[in-house]
Each structure stands twice: as C-alpha cells, then as structure tokens.
Amino acid sequence: MERRTKLKSLGELFLTFAKIGLFTFGGGYAMISLIEDTCVTRKKWITQEEMTDMTVVAESTPGPIAINMATYTGWRRAGIPGALAATLGVALPSFLIIFFLSALLKQWLEIPWVARAFTGIRAAVAVLILSAGIRMAKKLPRKPLPLGIMAASLVILLTASLAGFHVSSLLLMAAAGLLGLCLYNLRDRRKEAGGK
C-alpha cells in the first residue's frame, strides 16, 4: 500500500511538471508563474516563502531555472525519487518537441501564420514573466532595505538596457546579496552597540 502511494505521488509529480513543461512557452522565467500557481496555490506542495527562496536559489545556481525549481519541488515532496520525477517531467516535453522538430524548425518558422503566432506568444511570455516578478515583489517585506535593493537593481537593469549594455543577472544577484549581507550586519552591530 505504501509503495503504491509513493508511486502515485511520483507519477503525479512527473505528470504535473510534464504539463508545465509542455504548455509553457518562453522558458524557465515564463514557468515561474505556472509553477507558483500549481505547486503553491492549488496543490500546496510548497509554501509561498519556499517558492520565493527557491526562485532566488534556482536563478543563482547553474542550470535552467525551471529545472532547478522542479528538482527542488520534487525533492521537497518525495525526496530524491521525487526530484528525479519532477526534473524528468519538466525537461522531457521540450526535449522531445525540439528533437522531432529540429530538422523542420527553420522551414516551419518561415510559414507566415506560424511566425505571427510566435509573435503573439512572445508578447504573452513577457506578461507571464512580469506577472511572476510583480507577485514576488509583493511578497517582499515592506522594509526600506529590501525595497531599496529591489529599486536599485531595477534602476541598474533599466539604465543598462536603455544604454545598450547587458548586465549579468548572476552578478546583479551576487551584488544584491553582498549588499544585503553588509547592510544587515551593520544594522545588527549598531543594535548590539546601542544595547550595550
């Protein structure tokens, strides 16, 4: 009975992430919103706080963000077998589609109605990414330091983008993490000094 329940749980993880992988265009960032809706809101496999932390960790570690998030969620739900099931589920659909379409992809994208459809899909992907970002921003503590770091990061990204420069998201996150560490340590030392 216990083995059947475990297999059912692994199957559910695989199918859930296979649906996310199959129906989300635009890569990992576009999947964040769908993963949040599925795993936090509907299935309650992880909490909103875990989702936020997982997004940060998944972005700052090697590999595609969606695969990292699927791996963590699967592990959280059913250990190593769960991590493998969720990772395979999210990666398999796109692998199979690209594998079968790779020979025809160039000709396929030259078909006018396909090209127009992809233009619309790209616009929707931008909205999905923006939506995920807004939801994460809403979950930030309403304190000056996190809001200040977020605002500074946004200004840096927008300024660089308008000037035609590329800012590495990894470097930006590392700088934000270092800044947060330094400022929080400074704040704690001042509190300790004030307490003494």
Q: What is the pLDDT of residues 17-39, one digit of tens each?
A: 999 988 776 666 778 888 888 99
Residues composing the chain: 196
- pLDDT, residue 195, reads 59
Q: What is the pLDDT of residue 196?
A: 54
Average pLDDT over all residues of the chain: 82
Q: Could you tell me the pTM of the whole model?
A: 0.62
Annotated domain spans of the chain: 2-139, 143-196
- Which pLDDT value is given to residue 62? 73
What is d(CA 5, CA 167) in angstroms, rounded to the nearest whole number?
Answer: 46
Mean pLDDT calculated for residue range 45-51: 88
